[in-house]
Amino acid sequence: MKNECYIVRDLLPSYIDQICSEESSRFIEQHIATCEQCAELLNQMRVEFDIQEQPEIPTRIEQKKPFQKIAHFFNAQKNFTKFLSISFWVALIVTVGFFIYSLNVLSELNDEREEAQGIEQQKQDIMEKTFAVLSTQANIDEIALQAVFQEYSGQLEHLAVFSTENIDDVTHLQGNPTYTFPIDYSQAILVIGENGKITETIIPNDYDIGTVAMANDQWTVQYEYQNSYLETIENAHQIKHYAPSNWIVFQLPIVFIIITAFILGGWIIQKRITKPVENILD
Ligand SMILES: [Zn+2]
């Protein structure tokens, strides 16, 4: 073995690791070309080096497969979390939209309810004023009755007074103003219209929501609304009897609040489940 061999053998590990300078590498290669022993040693060291490195390769391949499956699973989880978050925001927007819509509906409904209440109040007022005229006089005060009619001339077609004893059944008319199938005006003691006392024959309106009557022991009062006012009366009637409750108005937003809450709950749970592994995926 020459002196050069010792230097070369010291450098071989670095040469295999490819961390030698260019000069050293050239020196080693030139030497190995001429020295069989060092060439043999280099081969041996390379084989050992490969044996050391090789076991890692299959291990890495084996580890890669299950990790891919886990990564795939966590990606699916991540997508599901994303889906839940998008669903939550969409549901929230829809809920807010329905809520605003319901508020508008409720506001309109309240206006209509107020109008209907106004009409109910007006019904009471007309009857109260008429019965007040009837009770203060032994005979019917035509002038005072005309004054009552004039007060509501924008709404009333005519106002009639009957003697209760001439009417078959008034039990359903007692106490409160009631929409009724019109009593025949030919039986009336007095009928007041826009131009005062009406003497010609009146054909009753067959529209029962357009006719209101009320009776006490002595008198029965019946009035009819003008045709132009019937639509308002009909609307008020619909609102009073068939208007949806506030609960119904807010049914859709309530349903969506529940749906949104469920999605939010799912989202929170999902986030908690995936939180510990979140960083692995990023
Ligand atoms: Zn040598």
pLDDT tens digit sequence for 14-63: 898 888 889 999 999 999 999 999 999 999 988 887 766 655 555 555 55
Domain spans of the chain, in order of start: 3-57, 117-229
CA of 7 to the centre of ligand 1 (A): 9
What gap in Å lies between CA 21 and CA 240, rounded to an integer?
Answer: 100
Contact present, 231 and 157 (Cβ < 8 Å): no
CA of 51 to the centre of ligand 1 (A): 24
CA of 125 to the centre of ligand 1 (A): 129
CA of 44 to the centre of ligand 1 (A): 14
CA of 4 to the centre of ligand 1 (A): 6
pLDDT tens digit sequence for 214-255: 999 899 999 999 999 999 999 999 998 898 899 999 999 999
CA of 12 to the centre of ligand 1 (A): 11
pLDDT value for 171: 87
Contact present, 161 and 139 (Cβ < 8 Å): no
Give, as residue ranges, everything with CB less than 5 Å from ion ligand 1. Answer: 5, 35, 38
Q: Which residue, among 150, 209, 215, 137, has the nearest Cα to 180 in the 3D structure?
A: 209
CA of 33 to the centre of ligand 1 (A): 9
What gap in Å lies between CA 132 and CA 122, rounded to an integer?
Answer: 15
CA of 142 to the centre of ligand 1 (A): 145
Q: What is the mean pLDDT of the chain?
A: 88
Q: Which residue, among 53, 57, 56, 58, has the nearest Cα to 16 in the 3D structure?
A: 53
pLDDT value for 250: 94
Q: Which residue, among 23, 21, 30, 16, has the nearest Cα to 5 in the 3D structure?
A: 30
Contact present, 161 and 140 (Cβ < 8 Å): yes
